[in-house]
A and B are shown apart, each in its own frame.
Chain A
Amino acid sequence: MDLLTRAVRGLAGRLVRLVLLLAAVATASFALMVHSPVDPVDAYVGGDIAAIGPEQRAQIAERWGLDDPPLERFATWLGNVAQGDLGRSLSFNQPVTEVVGERFLTSLALMATAWVLSGVFGFSLGVLAGMRQGRATDRAVTWWAYTLASAPTFWVGLLLLYVFSVSLGWTPVCCAVPVGVLADDVTLLDRLHHLLLPALTLSVVGVAPVVLHTRHAVIEAMASDHVTFARAQGESTRGVVVHHVLRNAAAPAVLLQFASLGELFGGSVLAEQVFSYPGLGAATTTAALGQDVPLLLGIALFTTVFVFVGNQLGDLVHARLDPRVSRDLARARRPRWGRGEPGEPLLDPDPLPPPVVPERAGAR
């Protein structure tokens, strides 16, 4: 019961914060769009100035309410947004919510694959480098990570595109599905085949921070007292890493991985441009190039929610992996931790008694 109210209260607090944040983002981005030198009617008509006369222009402006003062327009827009109506996208000629929904699902497959890949690779490489601190492996991995951190995403994409699609011909050059095939005939394998290279690009570029932070955490854990103690008991290096280091290193890596959703989306904008992958990132570019203000505003709001959810999930998972993060959360869950800690009590030949956990938390 107590846990339930706590969870509800936590959720309500997060929701309020999200709503406040969205209101701020909406206000700021609307203000930006209003002050943009781009004329919406021109953007709608396209480059052809002769296509419509001044009367028609005035009609369009009136229909869109462009003559109203900005504050009034903002109020109308905000009212519509609150009802879930983000307006109509000019470049896709569809409601913005539909465009964002469809495109995001396509992007989600790409981003999720890249996210998992970069998490797994980054974590393994980081653990490897941390285990062999100062040796050749460590130096190579660290150098590689720092180099990748300086590499432009789209350049990595172009390299992979040239090597695997143009030279070797292993992967398709563009798009999310084969060209000229009906939507119903596209198999899952086709989709995966098209997804492979963009996802690889994103994960190769996204790997660097995870590697470096994991390495740092592993080195710190390897130098801690409980590892020295385990070594004194005769634990091998592999055993030390598996039983005593992995979990300590996993917490920051997971937090980082969740917090990097914004970067991931930014990367997907670039990767989707390189591979002509029709996701939300490509839609962002299209919207900006096509001066599609409603879609841009919709994407701004949507990505805010995306990043916010990522951060909150990261906090939750982090708190679960490392009970010290938030004391009161950990206190509420301590009985469960005592039973389920996968590292020490289950696998150790001589299980530590349960009171050790509160003792360790109390010592901090």
Chain B
Amino acid sequence: MTAVLERPGRRFADRRSRTLAYVGLSVLVVLGVVVAGGLAADAAQTTSLTDRNLGPSAAHWFGTDRLGRDMLARTLAGLRLSLVVGVAAAVVSAAIALTLACLAAVFGGVVDRAVGWLVDLFLALPHLVLLILLAFALGGGTGAVVAAVALTHWPTLTRVLRGRAREVMSSDYVAISRQQGHGRGWIARRHLTGHLTGHFLVGTVLLFPHAILHEAALSFLGLGVDPGEPSIGILLAESMRYLTAGAWWLAVLPGLCLLVVVKLVDTIGSNSRALLDPRSHHL
């Protein structure tokens, strides 16, 4: 909206290109973190008993922990783990959401009601309590956390997709299609998928931040990934004991990095939505 009022030539490109560039840059940074995390995996576990509990310095940008492990390497490795868990969980959740929403819209009636009821059931408990129950029931550990996070993030996206799918199914062209004798599968393929793709992709990206934060929360509580692995949640849980001793770098810097990565992923999602569905971005 404001772009129209601005003098031409003040910005190097129009709003659309700027958004695209921003999304591209964010994707690059996130990918960079994943690669760096993979490279830092060894350094994250290397202990050095002579440099214990050092503050941030040129040699150790993020300082070292109680065993002399470099916190920068541990943070990067933790972020990589978070992103991997986030990707897995978001993809599984989004697939569940898409399947349920399509089933509900295409078959309607009892199926639709059952899906709505299932969504309500999953939203009845506080999300974190549900996660704790699931992680506990699955026996704890990294696999259990990924499964728990993946199995609980679909309800809101299902609601959005179901609403959108219902809109499409009640439109005139679907009615005409039906009159012409096309089956449910044909209608779902030809009319539904095209309309849902954008929402689905953006919804998947926007599930990321939640999945990442919930994984970190579970690990922080001690119910998440195995304590030996450097996850951001575990780094912060460990830092808690050293906070009163003044070791602020253990808590502040890894958390800040997690915040930045989550925000980057979030910007990727909301900017893509602005590109795919400009009307949603007017306010």
**Residue ranges of A at the interface with B (Cβ–Cβ < 8 Å):** 21, 24-25, 28-29, 32-33, 35-38, 134, 146-147, 149-155, 158-159, 161-162, 166, 173, 216, 219-220, 261-263, 265-266, 269-270, 273-274, 284-285, 288-289, 291, 296, 299-300, 303-304, 306-308
Contact = CB atoms under 8 A, between A and B. Distances in A.
6 contacts: A21-B120, A162-B251, A265-B128, A288-B223, A300-B133, A304-B125
A28 to B, nearest CB: 7
Contact of B126 (A29, A147, A152, A265): A265
Contact of A21 (B121, B136, B232, B262): B121
A288 B224 CA distance: 11
Interface string B257-272: 0110011001000000
Question: Which of the listed residues B2, B240, B246, B258 has the most CB atoms from chain A within 10 Å of its own CB?
Answer: B240
B175 interface: no
B230 interface: no
A284 B137 contact: no
Contacts of B251: 155, 158-159, 162
A270 B126 contact: no
A347 to B, nearest CB: 28
Contacts of B209: 149-150
B195 to A, nearest CB: 24
Main secondary structure of the interface of B (DSSP, over half): helix
Contacts, number: 141
B127 A262 contact: yes
B216 A152 contact: yes
Which of A154, A262, A273, A304 has the largest count of B CB atoms less than 10 A from its CB? A154
Interface in B217-235: 217, 220-223, 232-233
B92 to A, nearest CB: 18
A38 B136 contact: yes
Of B126, B209, B213, most buried by chain A (CB within 10 Å of CB) is B126
Which size bracket describes the interface of B in this complex?
A: 35 or more
B239 A166 contact: no
A274 B240 contact: yes
Interface in B104-142: 120-121, 123-129, 132-139
Nearest to A143: B263
A216 B281 CA distance: 11
Contacts of B246: 166
Given A152-B258, A158-B255, A159-B251, A303 B243 contact: no
Given A33-B137, A265-B129, A25 B240 contact: no
A225 B32 CA distance: 50
B263 A288 contact: no
Among B129, B217, B236, B246, which residue has the most Cβ atoms of chain A within 10 A?
Answer: B129
Contact of A216 (B139, B221, B283): B283
Given A154-B217, A288-B223, A32 B255 contact: no
Nearest to A270: B217
Given A158-B252, A220-B283, 5 more contacts: A154-B216, A155-B255, A270-B217, A284-B129, A303-B129
Contact of B139 (A38, A159, A263): A38
Contacts of A173: 244
A37 B220 CA distance: 22
A142 to B, nearest CB: 10
Given A150-B266, A155-B236, A285 B248 contact: no
A158 B217 CA distance: 13
A146 B244 contact: no
A147 B263 contact: yes
- Of B123, B217, B232, B252, the most chain A CB neighbours within 10 A belong to B217
B129 A266 contact: yes
B223 A289 contact: yes
A225 B100 CA distance: 41
Given A155-B236, A219-B283, A269-B221, A162 B252 contact: yes
A292 to B, nearest CB: 10
Contacts of B123: 262
B126 A162 contact: no
B127 A263 contact: yes
Contacts of A285: 132, 221-223
A305 B247 CA distance: 41
Given A32-B134, A36-B139, A162-B252, A270 B220 contact: yes
Contacts of B252: 158-159, 162
A46 B237 CA distance: 23
A303 to B, nearest CB: 5
